Chain A
Amino acid sequence: MTDASAVAAQRLTADELARNFADIHPPLDRKRALIEASRCYFCYDAPCAQACPTGIDIPGFIRKIATDNVKGAAVTILDENIMGGACARVCPVEILCESACVRQTQEAKPIQIGALQRYATDWLFDRKVHPFTRAAPSGKRVAVVGAGPAGLSCAHRLAMRGHDVVVFEAKPKAGGLNEYGIAAYKMPDDFAQAEVAFILSIGGIRIESGKALGRDLSLAELRRNFDAVFLGMGLAGVNTLALEGEDMAGVMDAVAYIERLRQAPDKGALEIGRRVVVIGGGNTAIDVAVQAKRLGAEDVTVVYRRGPEQMTATRYEQELAQTNGAAIKYWARPVRLVGHRGRLKEVEFEYTQLDEQGRLMSTGDRFVLLADMLFKAIGQSFVAAPIGKDSAEPLELAEGRIKVNADRQTSLPDVWAGGDCVPGDDLTVSAVQDGKVAAEAIDRALRAA
């Protein structure tokens, strides 16, 4: 095998690729949905609903599914979470609602809440019904920065409350990570754009794409031109390994690669290595590892510096990587990238362990993995420059992100923020909740003004 074939496109046939990137969890049909819904005990003050960051009345919507009131079920979901369709596909239910399900306690087999939520929301989307209406026009205008889950959730709720919203989005398409970041098999069939269209169909929301804060817009300008501002930017920065040779061919940023994969009409056009190494322990690491396998990589190894419990990827995600044929090596970190003629050839690792104080340290032992390609999936970071201390109207930060109160209000009284740019877990469902909470707070503030 020559160097040239170590990284190649079109490793699999179109049919294989179509299968590999199809829906990982095919939807429940009506029969299965009814059986599943009938398992729900309709708990009092249900633990599942308490575990949902958006507080969806889960027993309520499941009961509606059971009675074939599917529209009612969908509205119950979307009323709390306008991206209930996306969350049904991407939520880590195994650590949220389904982990709290009393059936989990009883028989280690929770109600498939995510799948039922998808059944209900798909039903509504298939019928192209928008169940919400706008309140009388308030005459107020709100700027939203970022058309990801936080921004779109905020925009929709504001539109419902009668305000007009302009959403500024840096990328060509709206949807944020749903469009650019989520693994392709979790959101096939252009669902992200269908959901964006659904959200916009309430009216009163205009999206201006290709407009980035700090490049094309300033916070000061938005505050001047709008009655309120919501910041829903994601994490624009990616962390680096800080190793020599990171710029050589074959060393890739996982986020950028997944974005290309998501946008590629022909997945086979993406080049992938025969031997792939992924560095990191989050969902991005798992997503890129699984997708690398599904593009036809022979050997994929995820290397994480700590153990399975510390991994932010859930147990389910770790097992997903493993059942897809990727290996996960725990307790090791890269120390050297070895190339040949500008191309990555191998990666040297050292084994790690915790010292008595619980700090990560090397064991002194090392090993080498042959690698045509290495994906860095070691976290993303918030780029604070456009709103940080060097900007004209700086916002206070906390944990390197925008500091907000319970209403998601920033240190500036007319600026709210939510999603990945504020502290907290980086989940779609939390971003939607941030946007919703902020929208209600903005509405109260605008009506009081």
Chain B
Amino acid sequence: MADLRTTFAGIKSPNPFWLASAPPTDKAYNVVRAFKAGWGGVVWKTLGEDGPPVVNTASRYGTLDISGVRMAGFNNIELITDRPLQVNLDEIKQVKRDWPDRALVVSLMVPCVEESWKRILKRVEETNADGVELNFGCPHGMSERGMGAAVGQVPEYVEMVTRWCKQNTRMPVLVKLTPNVTNILGSARAAKRGGADGVSLINTINSIIGVDLDLMAPYPVVGGKGTHGGYCGPAVKPIALHMISEIGRDPECAGMPISGIGGIATWRDAAEFHALGAGTVQVCTAAMHYGFKIIDDMVDGLGNWLDAKGHARLDAIVGRALPNVTDWQHLNLNYKIVARIDQEACIKCGLCHIACEDTSHQAITASKKDGDRHFEVIDKECVGCNLCMHACPVTGCISMVEVATGKEPLTWLEHPNNPMRQAAE
């Protein structure tokens, strides 16, 4: 099977699947179970300054369930570890000693003072952990105290703290980025300038996951009240993929390793992150939903897929899709496709028709043929938008087929309708 071993910012792991800094990595018991299950690495749940630990609430989680699918989206209001610093450090040291081949990265969040970072980095180094991840992303609870997203949203702070850390440790420094910004490149470039060895993203998205209509309070409800929390799970994957590709495409960030996070539940999700430039991936919600055993298929599936594609190593696909990520203005406006309905596969639900009829281009007729319901594409009305294909509940029933237009590729930049077009030389 293809070689899944990774070296990420100098940190080695037997496969690219790490558990993200979160409840599953809060203590040795869980982490050892994860390693036994086959996970390639963990980012230990965020440690804070020495002293009285933070206190967490009950409850802590809320979910977005869609048509019977549980935890399609997930949010939490849990803070950093609520266990004493020394207990965590002792466990980290022991786990690293027992599992030398696995990546063990420690997530950190301390006040925005160099001395605080210096102090904790020294203590982490003593554990022989493989690296640190600076938690500049947590959107709730800690940002009110000037930590987490409060730092991550300000590029100057990101750069400054990253630099402090680089100056005060020999360990690789990963910077975990918050998605709660308008442009991820601000903080990504700042991390790079500060000397980061890599970035991890996305952290959770600021969210209210839902409202309890009886209690008239947001979920998760804590004694009648709720607060905004961090949103993650399968539903956030598209946001993460976009942000990763933005960094992957950015010349200023070129070469900076990316650890992809956000809704990864299967090897297929992981492969997409790798294709957009992620060197490793981090998983949390899927493990919290199904347990650590999901790693079996993630490793096996990714390996089999790489084999099927003829790749000997995972590295071969990292960033492979990036050249095809472009700006809208570079898309070929003369490329034409139309929908084709496989009448044999069609179950006559009519969803393609009503989607097109009510909300799009009136390009699918509903009629009777030999007494049966019959749905047919009107090619000249079809704009090739794909809506019908997505609404169709039968996989593969509707496909989009290319129509030869005989025209040369034409982008908006050259299009006659573009008032600012660049005249062809």
Contacts and interface: CB of A to CB of B under 8 A. Distances in A.
Contact of B366 (A35, A45, A66, A102): A45
B66 to A, nearest CB: 9
A24 interface: no
B349 interface: yes
B373 interface: yes
Contacts of A66: 67
Contacts of B68: 34-35, 38
21 contacts: A34-B68, A41-B349, A41-B351, A42-B351, A43-B348, A43-B349, A43-B350, A43-B351, A44-B350, A44-B353, A44-B354, A45-B350, A45-B373, A46-B350, A66-B67, A102-B347, A102-B349, A102-B393, A105-B348, A106-B393, A106-B394
A38 B67 contact: yes
A44 B67 contact: no
Interface in B338-374: 347-351, 353-354, 366, 373
A64 to B, nearest CB: 14
B348 A41 contact: no
Secondary structure at the B interface, as helix, strand, loop or mixed, is: loop
A47 interface: yes
A34 B65 CA distance: 12
B190 to A, nearest CB: 45
Nearest to A105: B347
Interface string A60-76: 00000010000000000
Interface of A: 34-35, 38, 41-47, 66, 102-103, 105-106
Contact of A106 (B67, B347, B353): B347
Secondary structure at the A interface, as helix, strand, loop or mixed, is: helix
A102 B375 CA distance: 14
Nearest to B393: A41
Nearest to A100: B348
A43 B394 CA distance: 13
Contacts of A43: 348-351
Interface in B312-354: 347-351, 353-354
A47 B351 contact: no
A194 to B, nearest CB: 30
Contacts of B373: 45, 47
B346 to A, nearest CB: 9
Interface string B393-404: 110000000000
B302 to A, nearest CB: 30
Most chain B beta-carbon neighbours within 10 Å: one of A42, A46, A102:
A102
A105 B393 CA distance: 12
Given A44-B351, A45-B366, A47-B373, 14 more contacts: A35-B68, A42-B351, A44-B349, A44-B350, A44-B353, A44-B366, A45-B373, A47-B348, A66-B67, A102-B348, A103-B347, A105-B348, A106-B393, A106-B394
A50 to B, nearest CB: 9
Most chain B beta-carbon neighbours within 10 Å: one of A42, A43, A47:
A43
Nearest to A43: B349
